[in-house]
Amino acid sequence: MVSWGVGAALVLALVGCGRAPKAQTLSGDFHALQVLGSGTVLYGEHAGVRRSVDGGRTWAAPDGAGDAMALTRTRDGTVLAGHEVLKVSRDDGRTWTDLGFGNLPGRDLHGFAVDPGRPEVWYANVMGRGVFRTADGQDWTHLSDATAGASVLAAGPQPALYALDAQGLLVSPDGVTWTRRPDAPRGVHLDVHPDSGVLFLAGPDGAFRSTNQGRTWTSLALPEGARLIAVSPQNGDQLIAVGLSGAVYRSANGGGRWQ
């Protein structure tokens, strides 16, 4: 089990002493959110990527890495950012390197995901074109245009791919055949735990969890509607959510209670 990191532990200690730094409210474009294995949290927006090393309480300024509409991570700690840029970070989002787009037919990447069981396999959703797959980062194969209008892409271990478009949630076992989940809550963001496959959804009605690939859902009783949600890859009970107000919430028990 990995905690939220040394910074988060220090903040909790300062809370007990009445000297904790004031929690920040996020603003911007609310594109992407990821929790890394180290406990660092990354927030993506048009201005770049912002980092938090204390569990989401305080945030660095946007780093100017480029429009981070999509953020995803691999088991070895590699982070990928995409949308008009395709960059990789191997130091928890401190620095970024351009990868290039290979033979992708466009740069308008509205969703990027990594297969948790095969970290060399990446998926990119190109707006207006659909989902593509690569095993080398350069040679991309078109799988389906069913997600051509999707703004979010996520990958689970079943295997399962998930996409969100204006009509709701789409699910696929391979990226080729997609099924719509008509009973899913309204959603604007997704994350999947890489081992359990538990799916988390953020939307105007709050935060939700599904343990059966989006067939049924449990409300996580977030105090407000949600813009973003992310689960720690090391501990499926540790969640970060961003509310409609920009407030950042943290849960250590799978969404049963939020701080």
SS3 221: coil
Q: Is the CB of residue 246 less than 8 Å from the CB of residue 217?
A: no
What's residue 3's pLDDT?
A: 56
What's residue 176's pLDDT?
A: 98
Encode 197-225: b = buried (16+ Cβ within 10 Å), e = exposed.
bbbbbbbeebbbbbeebbeebeebebebb
Q: Tell me the per-residue pLDDT of 190-249, one tens digit each, with 9 for 90 and over.
A: 999 999 999 999 999 999 999 999 999 999 999 999 999 999 999 999 999 999 999 999
**pLDDT higher than threshold 70 for residue 11:** no
**pLDDT higher than threshold 80 for residue 9:** no
What's residue 21's pLDDT?
A: 61
**pLDDT higher than threshold 90 for residue 17:** no
**pLDDT higher than threshold 70 for residue 72:** yes
Least confident of 158-162, 171-175, 180-184, 212-216: 158-162
What's residue 22's pLDDT?
A: 75
% of the chain surpassing 70 pLDDT: 92
What pTM, to 2 d.p., does this model score? Answer: 0.90
Taking alpha carbons only, the member of 43, 32, 236, 17 closest to residue 153 is 32
Q: Is the CB of residue 103 less than 8 Å from the CB of residue 140?
A: yes
